[in-house]
Structure 1
Amino acid sequence: MFRPLKLGFLPVVFALAACANSGANYQPVIDGPVGPNYSTDLAQCRQLAASQPTLDGSTAASVGTGAAAAGVGSVIFNDNSDNLGRAAGVGAVAGLTADLVQKNADREAIIKNCMRGRGYNVVG
């Protein structure tokens, strides 16, 4: 029997997409004085971080892995495949979320390293 896919996941996906580039807006904590070029340096480092792709091969792999793991887990633990599609959908969203969280952390690290490379004592 065919059951249409419910669109309950769309708000979650849109919310995740809206936050996808938040790591590029990271404000590093600087210990010590900042020079007159601080704003320019920070803007350039943020631009570098923002230039990293939001969706790439690792995103597809995370979504696929999450969907497969949740689907298999549903079949194993429920001993049937009645909720396979729902479980796979939840797993896909979980994989997407994990990938976006990692990409935001990577963007923050890019900003920290970029600012350190420009001579700032970044402590957080």
Structure 2
Amino acid sequence: MNVLAKTTAVSFICLLAACENSGANYTPVIDGAVGPNYNSDLAQCQGLAASQASIDGSTGRDVATGAGVAAASSVIINDNSSNLGEAAAVGALVGLTGNALKKNADREAIVKNCMRGRGYNVVG
């Protein structure tokens, strides 16, 4: 298995992992007792996080950047353009994966901040 195929496989696995848990399903660690509204508050905060767009301007930018950098690197390193398309595809996938992971982290942060705003002592 060549390096390109390995990179593609790893990127695809990372993308699937990022999509599996959108971050909106995150359950924060709370220090102290929780009140009777905890489940309702958590559901509302998770709903707020889930309402955030999955694809936006940063998604396209990250995909294009990944494709461009990988294609240019392939030409420079290999001193030819024989696998330019493959390199660009892998770079695009890497950019998409990175963007998905960032969106996942952003949604998790929304849940944490929302719960803090509702008076919970969120520690993780």
Task: Output the CA distance in 2 between the equivalents of 1:99 and 1:44.
Answer: 25
TM-score (normalised: structure 2): 0.86
Q: What pairs with 1:12-91 in structure 2 (closer than 5 Å)?
A: 12=12, 16=16, 19=19, 22-91=22-91
Task: Output the CA distance in 2 between the equivalents of 1:94 and 1:117.
Answer: 35
Unaligned runs of 5+ in 1: 1-7
The CA RMSD over aligned residues, in Å, is 1.9
Aligned amino acid, residue 37 of structure 2? N
Unaligned runs of 5+ in 2: 1-7
TM-score (normalised: structure 1): 0.86
Superimposed CA distance per residue, residues 31-59 of structure 1 (whole angstroms, 9 cap, x where no aligned partner): 00000000000000000000000011100
Q: 4+ residue stretches of structure 1 with deviation over 2 A?
A: 15-18
Superimposed CA distance per residue, residues 84-124 of structure 1 (whole angstroms, 9 cap, x where no aligned partner): 00000000000000000000000000000000000000000
Q: Which is helix-richer, 1 or 2?
A: 2
Instruction: Number of aligned residue pairs: give it.
Output: 114
